[in-house]
Chains A and B, each alone.
Chain A
Amino acid sequence: MTDNKSGVLVVVEVEDSQPIDLGLEMLALARRLTGIMGGTVTAVAFGTGLETTGETLTAYGADQVLLNDNEIFTNFHAEAWLPDLSKIITEVEPALVLIGHSESGTDLAPRLAFRLDVDVATGCESIDIVNGRPHMTRSCFGGLAREVITFTKTPALATIRSKSQQALVPDMKRSAEIKHVSSILDVNAIRTRVVNRDREKAVGVQMESAKVVIGGGLGLGGPEGFKTLNEIAELVDGAVGASRAACDLDWCPRSYQIGLSGRTVAPELYIAVGISGASHHMAGCGNSKTIVSVNSDPKAEIFKSSRFGIVGNSQEIMPALAEEIRKLKA
């Protein structure tokens, strides 16, 4: 590359004043990449109550932290983020910008790319440096294929899938330059108005951080099937997810959806119950350490990605499993 852009800038999302795991995972990736191509790791966080955020981001790998602590950034709103973020990227001149492939990241990154007149690779699983350039690997064709792409213009933008990277062990002895930036946002320039926001209060263990996730599909036979899954999840401090087909039928809340157009999980154990194993679903759980599946069809595709398989009726197997776990815990 003939330009002088270098290093990696990571946009870290903050929730309740804490950086989300995906942000910390991206910092680890940024450290590895700057180790190969040189340059520094800049972490950028927008939000409110960011008093300790700088230290946290430093411990997880940032060399420089830019905090935009402002009431306006309490809730994500792409149009509010864009002017400041574009300005920061133009000033820092990174070779690569990492953004989480999250609800907000997928809304933000393409806009940012076009505003900066550069390109974005969405949903990346890994990035390597070849001849000084980022080669980004992303899933396409509904998870059936992978493409490795590069861009001719810099900076390259990439959104990174949750759990595709592992955060570093925090090192409290690291030091970094922590700076507060002031916002240039003109609120009158925001053209989209949020008139109402209705989020379900999350109860129990979050899917992304659970050690055990139990996913239910059409093979559960109906919404009652999810009751048993919830019971088991509670016994093992796990979380319940679902296939899109089950969500579409309102057998469970939509927030349960795992997959290409849903959430990404990578627990120690994923139990897929009555799920056929479509690539679109596996795109959200394929990185789980162990997959166990329960399916009445011995030829179900899901068994090809499963370490253990149970051929049987979910309505018999799952209540029995709940019972056996209860016995073991007694």
Chain B
Amino acid sequence: MKIVVCVKQIQNPEIPAAQFRIDEEAKVLIPVSGLSPVLSPFDEQAVEAALRIRDRAEEGADIEITIVTIAPKGARAAIKAALALGADNAVLLNEPTFDGGGGYVTARNLAETIRAIGDVDLILTGRQAADGDAGVVGLGIAEILDIPAITFARNVQTADGVVTVQRVLQDGIETVEADLPALVTISNELGKVRNASMRETMRAAKKPVKEWTPEDIGLDETQVGSSATRYELERLYIPVNEIECEFISGDTPAEIAATLAQHMREENLI
């Protein structure tokens, strides 16, 4: 079985707000210096989901896990991290012409890459990238490839050409299945990602990484990156919503609580 996991390399999404910078003029993120980029957390969990499928498979089952990413030239952190976790190989789309595509272009370029890889049974993506927060690329790939898609998975299992997914609902869980090939987007409820073992980390450096050009996926330069985009970024900014905080103090918790309760009563909330 061939599994493709689409991963995006991003700035660490958990940096303190005070360190986060934007160049409003150029409408771009100013990377925090000295901070290494990371695999977007939901995508890391998508890699984990693929590895769990392989762990559960019968001895001798042939499961190949391929990582696909569109990333700027030189960006290797995400691929390295995914290979160190245990993926087998990777395809990297890092020609500058791939830069700046929006959700539509990214989905299209990834879909063509998956077609070029050929005979892929299962595609895993994150529920959303932790920088753009859009949640469109995964479903886009499925629509373009005309295959079923199941979103927000916390558990993915495959057997006899069928994928069975436990999907996270706002107030519960549903079990959904589809025939392969299919696409599944992974949510954080999948749980903890394993630590990269020493052995896999050492092996990772030797795992095959192909660098593909637009031509390799059957597209020309007008069909990739910013030249194909149908998206215009009018403005990018950091909202200012700091308000003056009035601290409620008192000698005992009861005194503090009484003041708060009084405020609540004045606002008719009690």
Contacts and interface: CB of A to CB of B under 8 A. Distances in A.
Interface stretch (A3-11, A65-73, A176-184, A186-194): A186-194
A215 interface: no
Main secondary structure of the interface of A (DSSP, over half): mixed
Contacts of A185: none
A113 B139 CA distance: 10
A263 B16 CA distance: 22
B235 to A, nearest CB: 4
B6 to A, nearest CB: 14
B17 A301 contact: yes
Given A110-B139, A316-B253, A309 B17 contact: no
Contact of B175 (A145, A195, A268, A327): A195
A87 interface: no
Q: How large is the interface on B (under 10, 10 to 19, 20 to 34, 35 or more residues)?
A: 35 or more
A196 B133 contact: no
Contacts of A123: 133-134
Interface stretch (B88-96, B198-206, B225-233): B225-233
Interface in B164-190: 164, 168-179, 182, 187-189
Interface residues of A, number: 84
B29 interface: yes
A199 B151 CA distance: 17
A139 interface: yes
Contacts of A79: 148
Contact of B168 (A197, A254, A269): A254
Contacts of B103: 110, 119-120
A325 interface: yes
A324 interface: yes
Contacts of A198: 172-174
18 contacts: A102-B170, A106-B151, A119-B102, A122-B133, A140-B132, A145-B237, A146-B237, A147-B233, A151-B230, A195-B176, A197-B169, A197-B174, A260-B133, A303-B245, A317-B256, A319-B253, A321-B261, A324-B254
